[in-house]
């Protein structure tokens, strides 16, 4: 217990001292705000009759005009052999394109409600210094994704939707399906007691699909000040996908190119040295030669 307390006191202490409490928690709080806002925008419909967003994350309608749909469930319908209405396909394309541009797993850390549950488990793990358990292969999630897309071929039904915790949590809140919350408790306990970050970093097929979607995204977390890093390891402690950090910190390219990165920004928060920043894949060039055409363009625009 006392050692745990000591660990806790030490974690991100430098960052809090150097940057202040707000700056050392900024992206965590912004993310929680976004996740809850999205949920609230859906919930005020059935609760208060304010219909800005109808439906749930599986498929929805924004302001009664813009369709949005979950690419994973849409793919499941297609592999089940059902051709949906155009609005669903357009909705899935809109969401797919959005995350292809914003960074695929932005969904995970900024929208997905399950992330709040698994982050809580990770926090408790750190808080009580629970022993690290043997790592599972992280590519397991791509097998899960393949499975989720194969099951409809074999069974003819979108079988994964029976278990998928992401819509289960949304339905629990929006339509009062309380029993589904048991699934979240199971995920929480598995993350806490069996394998660190078991669900999001090893199993979730939605996260896998969004990671694939974000492969070419222009938004990349970047270790702009990698030279200032003092190896305090705080970012490794807090990052849900810590395998993505080392290549950026120690390798030739300071940009995190691995699409497993959830773009959560916690590495920015906890780093006293200000090593990490969100960067645009195309603008992040220290080379002045690369910058000059952009300046020229700006001059053109002003004419």
Applying CB under 8 A, which residues contact another protein? 45-46, 51, 54-56, 58-61, 67, 69-70, 73-74, 77, 80-85, 87-88, 91, 137, 139-140, 143-144, 146-147, 150-152, 154-163, 167-168, 171, 174-180, 182
The smaller minimum CB distance to another protein, of residues 202 and 266, is found at: 202
Count the site residues for ligand SF4 by CB under 6 A: 39
Report 247-286 residues binding ligand SF4 (CB under 6 A).
249, 256, 261-267, 270-271, 273, 275
What are the counts of helices (DSSP H) followed by strands (DSSP E) for the chain? 16, 5
Please return the burial class of 278, using the count of CB atoms within 10 Å of its CB with bins 0-12, 13-18 and 19+.
middle
Stretch 95-134: interaction string toward ligand SF4, x if CB under 6 A: ------------xx---x-xx--x----------------
Eight-class DSSP state of 251: S
∠ CA 285-287-292, nearest 5°, is 95
Torsion from C-alpha of 136, 159, 161, 68, nearest 10 degrees: 110
Other beta carbons within 10 angstroms of residue 3's beta carbon come to 8
User: Under the criterion CB under 6 A, does residue 229 sit at the interface with ligand SF4?
Assistant: yes
Q: How far is the CB of 191 from another protein (least distance, A)?
A: 17
> Nearest approach, Cβ of 255 to another protein (angstroms)?
26
Given its phi and psi angles, is residue 5 left (phi above 0), alpha (psi -120 to 50 degrees) or beta? alpha
Q: Rounded to whole angstroms, how far apart are CA atoms 205 and 267?
A: 24
Site residues for ligand SF4 per CB under 6 A: 107-108, 112, 114-115, 118, 166, 199-200, 204, 206-207, 221, 229-235, 238-241, 244-245, 249, 256, 261-267, 270-271, 273, 275
């Amino acid at each position: 217990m006392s050692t745990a307390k000591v660990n806790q006191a030490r974690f991100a202490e430098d960052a809090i001292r150097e940057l202040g409490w707000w700056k050392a928690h900024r992206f965590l709080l912004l993310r929680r705000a976004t996740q809850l806002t999205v949920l609230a925008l859906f919930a005020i419909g059935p609760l208060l009759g304010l219909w800005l967003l109808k439906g749930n994350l599986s498929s929805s309608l924004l302001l009664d005009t813009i369709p949005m749909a979950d690419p994973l469930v849409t793919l499941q319908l297609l592999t089940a052999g059902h051709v949906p209405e155009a609005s669903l396909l357009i909705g899935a394309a809109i969401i797919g394109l959005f995350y292809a541009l914003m960074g695929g797993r932005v969904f995970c850390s900024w929208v997905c409600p399950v992330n709040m549950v698994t982050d809580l488990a990770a926090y408790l793990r750190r808080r009580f210094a629970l022993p690290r358990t043997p790592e599972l292969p992280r590519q397991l999630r791509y097998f899960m994704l393949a499975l989720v897309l194969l099951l409809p071929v074999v069974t003819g039904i979108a079988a994964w939707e029976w278990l998928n915790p992401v819509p289960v949590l949304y339905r629990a809140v929006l339509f009062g399906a309380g029993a589904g919350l048991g699934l979240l408790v199971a995920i929480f306990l598995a993350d806490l007691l069996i394998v660190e970050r078991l669900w999001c970093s090893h199993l979730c097929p939605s996260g896998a699909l969004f990671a694939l979607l974000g492969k070419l995204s222009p938004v990349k977390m970047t270790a702009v000040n990698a030279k200032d890093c003092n190896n305090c390891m705080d970012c490794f402690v807090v990052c849900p996908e810590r395998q993505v950090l080392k290549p950026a910190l120690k390798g030739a390219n300071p940009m995190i190119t691995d699409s497993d990165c959830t773009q959560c920004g916690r590495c920015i928060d906890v780093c006293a040295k200000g090593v990490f920043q969100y960067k645009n894949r195309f603008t992040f060039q220290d080379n002045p030669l690369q910058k000059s055409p952009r300046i020229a363009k700006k001059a053109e625009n002003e004419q």
